[in-house]
Structure 1
């Protein structure tokens, strides 16, 4: 094997690995054991993921090509131009599969008396309703662009869907137009029922507009009219100008606005569109064959299926779970008193997120609390976390919030809350120059006697009430003064980032993560060299740092057993003799989004364990402020190992990650374990003991 061949077989390309992850999401949409409406919603997630992929990752590779760089070393042994072609081919196949899945779902919907109909299938009652609905709810929201050779086409909005309209005029000429599908109106319109026969009829806004084309274009003298959907995806990278007179908030705001004008990176069209319409539009938009041009079906922006109406059919949805309490914690008594005696672990969504809000509200009201410091990455649209912090500032507490304004695609929401908090006297820190603040932590100082005592929590997830219902995350509540003293050091670093602090307990990026993690791996390597069993268990969203991959290969070659649960990107290739034969990797994609990061080194009495905000990606290790927190409580260690083992035992929703990237489901003769259901049962049982 040549050196080049070795390098190419040593890693899975990051972009290709991500597309394989999104294929796992599409598998959920195609899985007939998944409730029917949930399958549609997974189809929406697949589409939304793909949009973001093109805005960010595809756009990055395209910039490498345009800069005249090969990018082979950074791209897992594939040249950038070749990679763009591979991505396009994979996406075309996945889009075709998504259309097949949608057709299958539509057929099954009919069996459930749910009919998604188009403009050709309307009866008289439905036509009357459609007409009234259009004039009352849709017509005022429409943006319609009439195209001709004299008019410069305005920049089409990123990821918006448009109907490309062609009118064949009676004088023999052609007139083209674009209708923007309005986002302010629900994509799915429920039609009235004629009789109590249990049937539900739904029409998409796209088809409602197709029916109403004669109303929209009634001033034109045409013979025939047709409409086909198109969509353009733009480069989502933020570009900051160098105007020193602008504040950081102003620069972020301007960049978000300019994102809508980014370079096109993907153009999708209905494959039944007339050739002359397609050619005209591509010429108008300046799109050529260097861009990713993907033929699709009649409908685009399938991400809107995430909001498909439930129609009252709870039988076609996942059974809702009731978030559980944590034994020893109560929403009706002091959280501070409880965690003063011992550490507690909250595991969302199995446990209620309300403990975090309760902690902050208690801190806001407690006369003995003097300061609150917290990092914020992504807030909910309606955030009780933000309102609690504002409440604390109004009550005279010194509140410091490090809010990350560059949290991709959530910039506007974070700016809005930042402005509200600033107005109420919250001390805001807008990250660190050159680094994103991705750590999830809070520390409160409380006056007890003549001393200040610290209380706090460190988490793997965003402090977001909405995502806490569907993302799995660990949050550690603690009064460990050594740990919280180091959390306080990180806030000092935010304000005086020319100083680099040292940490005994926390592992902090960008200065220490690689060094400290390598040392922990080396301990397991040394154990194996001495004839003992080195053991590493990892759970994370993504693994793409080649340095971290190489270190795990080194450990494997030394005999260290490595079990990994990686939801998304995994550039490591497991199970290769002489390289990774002691490494096994699974990915679990199910009802909840697996989001927690967990590192376990060793076993038995000598285990070292960390929950973390950091995946093992270069950006997390070198370009972000991340925090990995040690677990010292033996009870919590046992609980976390139990939860890892349950997830590792999954043989229903676990896929094996291997050289072929086939997303093969793990099959064995063991008792069936669907880990997310088993974890809920595990916590139910803990409440009884």
Structure 2
């Protein structure tokens, strides 16, 4: 194995470069204007989660007095923290420039985001009434000077740090100097829209951000103070989001997770962001009181924080400034009427959301809930929609006497509280719950039902690359296979058996299951390609996934590349592999696609000497997915679906509009060539539209590439 200084890209640094691709979308003038603002929100939200999880992990390594080189791809943890902060500051600076450019372009569209100094007399009446009726009752305002202990700031909440310079006669000590200062904090309320839309004036739209509305009304908030000047600057703190689950045997698992989620509220800070224009004395007062340390990332930012709220920027009826909504398509060959299970009994079907309707999953579960011949339903749950039709269908099934078993993952990061609520709701309705496997998260996306038929119990099921979530199903691209293949479903039942009998390790001939077999199964498939290329047979590997961080899998791909196996990779997020390095990875090409939808599926294609082996999976090639989670990969045996999956990969690979190349420079350069322009997400919709037109009389409505 060749060892070079640049054998791997550090996963944290690679993730930051992924988020930079999101930031690129906000700067791309081919993206509709309001969508560009929303990408700024996604960039900000991603960064919040990065600090809560990944930065916090590296910080713990530093505080433990360790270098972390073995787990950080050769990076020293302390140096990595400094590098992260440097990159983030540069990205934040660029994001502010992009934001200013977008605001100018909004003004050209007669959309004006005003601040507190730009309010007209006519607008003042509306805003002061709005403040008194809607905002003031929800304001949490804390005067800091006289507190013995600094208040615990909420994770990722935005605060206005207030400094008042008081008149001497307004303070209790007569000889106090004129520069007596009083400090306060105002928490920006979360229960109010961040963007306050003012009455329209002709064709001109006006918006004021809630922070600036509060600034406009500071005199009302602090009317009891006699001050000569008052200033307000935004700050935000991000806390470590790691769950620390206690070992109290008297507590239920739900109680332990609930307690751990509550403890996040008082966990250690990992990032402090402040308005770079804040007065130095105010900044020193705050950082001193909060005990900000050298290992915390202190980042000067702009006037506004929590820009994740831009994900919900109001549309103002400006449909031309947003992506055109596509109408999800039916799956070719599935009849709208009649039994869906009956159709699955005849052949397998593939759903590829959001190009296809997500509703096929709901249709499957609702039919199972009502069908008197269905006896059992088993399903895994990781993330659900706020008002989940999946849960409603499962409860409906339980009320109809079905034996319903739900493996619900209470440790799904940032969805713990929602999943606890659903778990309690399901328990109340008589659904049997399984709370994971000790030491392993359950990340598989599987469902199995048993139906009593003439020849005995027959099984039906589906296996997916994504969550059973109607909301994300509209914006995440994911594959779901519906099948009655007994070879697959027999082994799917073995996975559910493992949840209940965790010491029993099953053997699988078809499914690729973590934590016991994923790594070995894929290494075996790669080895076969290496052997084939040496024998002069057709050999290649094509991979689509979210992240590649397992150094063992990276090394195996390097080995295949050196043997001459051609490897194409589409990796949306983190990629620790460096493609195109002579003597190490010269036969590997890798791209990332960031566009309208979030690329989420995992797809693996192996040439197999001209008879491709194709597999979908819930697992990325990350150490956690391979070794510390229960994941399920499923081979595709139906020839038509196999071809369809290969087609979708090739369409994505041909993207020369929204694809970026991975390289040693990590510069996120776009794929440029002289071929006809292909924007893969729009091309995939056309692909499925064309499949339907071949068998129906659908109108010829081409998807816009706007």
Query: 1:653 maps to which residue?
Result: 658
What is the deviation of 1:604? 6.8
Q: 2:165 aligns with which of 159, 164, 168?
A: 168
Q: After alignment, is 371-380 or 333-342 more displaced?
A: 333-342
1:593 corresponds in structure 2 to 598
**Does the Cα contact within 8 Å between 2:81 and 2:295 map onto a contact in 1?**
no
In structure 1, how many angstroms separate the alpha carbons of the residues matched to 2:390 and 2:675? 43
Instruction: Name the structure 2 match of 1:381.
Output: 386
| 1:149 CA displacement | 4.9
What SS does the aligned partner of 2:30 have? coil
Q: Does 1:21 align with 2:26?
A: no
Which ranges of structure 2 fall in alignment gaps of 5 or more residues?
A: 169-177, 695-706
**2:538–2:610 CA contact under 8 A, matched in 1:** no
2 CA distance for matches of 1:673 and 1:297?
Answer: 37
Aligned to 2:50: 53
CA distance in 1, matches of 2:185, 2:337: 56
Q: Deviations over 1:79-133 (max 9, x none)?
A: 0000000000000000000000000000000000000000001111211111111
Q: Which moved more, 1:584-593 or 1:151-160?
A: 151-160
SS of residue in 1 equivalent to 2:675: coil
Deviation, 1:334, is: 1.2
Shift of 1:603: 5.6
Q: 1:191-238 CA deviation, whole Å, 9 max, x = no partner?
A: 0124x2x10000000000000101111111111111000000000101
Q: Secondary structure at the match of 2:103?
A: helix
Offset of residue 264 of structure 1: 0.5
Q: Provide the rounded CA distance (Å) in 2 between the counterparts of 1:412 and 1:331.
A: 36
Most deviating of 627-636 and 527-536: 527-536
- Over the aligned positions, Cα root-mean-square deviation in angstroms equals 1.0
1:462-501 to 2 correspondences below 5 Å: 462-501=467-506
- Secondary structure of the residue that 2:489 maps to in structure 1? helix
Maintained 8 Å contact 2:352/2:477:
yes
**Cα offsets for 1:350-372 (capped at 9, x unmatched):** 00000000000000000000000
**Cα pair 1:8 1:76 within 8 Å, conserved:** no
Q: Distance in 1 between matches of 2:499 and 2:348?
A: 27
**Equivalent in the alignment of 2:586:** 581
2:86 alignment partner, one of 86, 89, 96: 89
Question: Secondary structure of 2:333's match?
Answer: coil
Aligned position for 1:141: 138
Aligned pairs for 1:527-542 (under 5 A) are: 527-542=532-547
Q: Which residue of 1 aligns with 2:444?
A: 439
The question of whether the paired residues in 2 share the 8 Å contact of 1:331 and 1:358 is answered with: no
SS of corresponding position for 1:399: strand
Distance 2:228 2:590 in 1: 60
| Correspondent of 1:273 among 278, 282, 300 | 278
- Separation of aligned partners in 2, 1:365 and 1:535: 46
Offset of residue 542 of structure 1: 0.0
Kindly provide the CA deviation profile for residues 490-543 of structure 1, in whole angstroms up to 9, marking residues without a partner as x. 000000001101111000000001111100000000001112232000000000
Contact 1:375 1:439 in 2 (8 A): yes
1:329 deviates by 1.4
Contact 2:348/2:481, CA 8 A, preserved across alignment: yes
Residues 270 and 295 in structure 2, CA contact (< 8 A), matched pair in contact too: no
Aligned-partner Cα distance in 2 for 1:645–1:554:
24
Partner Cα distance (2:663, 2:617) in 1: 25
Match of 2:510 among 505, 525, 533: 505
Q: Which residue of the partner structure matches residue 115 of structure 1?
A: 112
- 2:191 is paired with a residue of what secondary structure? coil
599-608 or 347-356: bigger deviation:
599-608
Larger deviation, residues 463-472 vs 329-338: 329-338
> Aligned residue for 2:323?
318
In structure 1, the partner of 2:692 is 687
Matches of 1:43 and 1:290, distance apart in 2: 27
Residue 533 of structure 1 contacts residue 559 of structure 1 at CA under 8 Å; is this kept in 2?
no
Q: Map of 1:372-451 to 2, 5 A cutoff?
A: 372-451=377-456
Which residue does the alignment assign to 2:681?
676
User: Pick from 66, 69, 80: which aligns with 1:69?
Assistant: 66
* Aligned with 1:189 (options 174, 191, 196): 196
| 1:222-281 alpha-carbon deviations (Å, 9 max, x no partner) | 111110000000001011112111100001011111111111000000000000000000
Match of 1:200 in 2: 205
Cα distance in structure 2, aligned partners of 1:103 and 1:634 = 51
- Distance in 2 (CA, whole Å) between partners of 1:583 and 1:107 is 42
- In the aligned structure 2, how far is the partner of 1:632 from the partner of 1:449? 26
Alignment deviations for residues 375-432 of structure 1 (CA, whole Å, 9 cap, x no partner): 0000000100000000000000000000000000001111111111100000000000
Cα distance in 2, alignment partners of residues 644 and 346 from structure 1:
15
Judging changes above 3 Å, is the alpha-carbon distance between structure 1 residues 264 and 7 closer, same or farther for their aligned structure 2 residues?
farther
2:59–2:295 contact (8 Å) kept in structure 1:
no
What CA deviation, in whole Å up to 9, does each residue of 1:303-360 have, x standing for no partner? Answer: 0000000000000000100000012213432111111100000000000000000000
Distance 2:122 2:345 in 1: 65
Tell me, in whole angstroms, the C-alpha distance in 1 between the residues paired with 2:5 and 2:415: 36
Matches of 2:146 and 2:214 in 1, distance apart?
A: 25
| C-alpha distance in structure 1 between counterparts of 2:608 and 2:478, whole Å | 22
- CA distance in structure 1 between the aligned counterparts of 2:443 and 2:374, rounded to whole angstroms: 26
User: How far does the alpha carbon of each residue in 1:622-644 deviate from its partner, in whole angstroms, 9 at most, with x for none?
Assistant: 00000000000000011000000
1:458 equivalenced with 2:455 (yes/no): no
* Structure 1 runs not aligned, ≥5 long: none
Query: In the TM superposition, what are the counterparts of 1:329-408 in structure 2 within 5 Å?
Result: 329-408=334-413
TM-score w.r.t. length of structure 2: 0.96
Q: Cα 1:250–1:7, aligned 2, differ >3 Å: closer, same or farther?
A: farther
Figure out how many residues of one structure are paired with residues of the other and give that number. Answer: 684
Match of 1:665, SS state, is: coil
Q: Which runs of 4+ in 1 moved over 6 A?
A: none
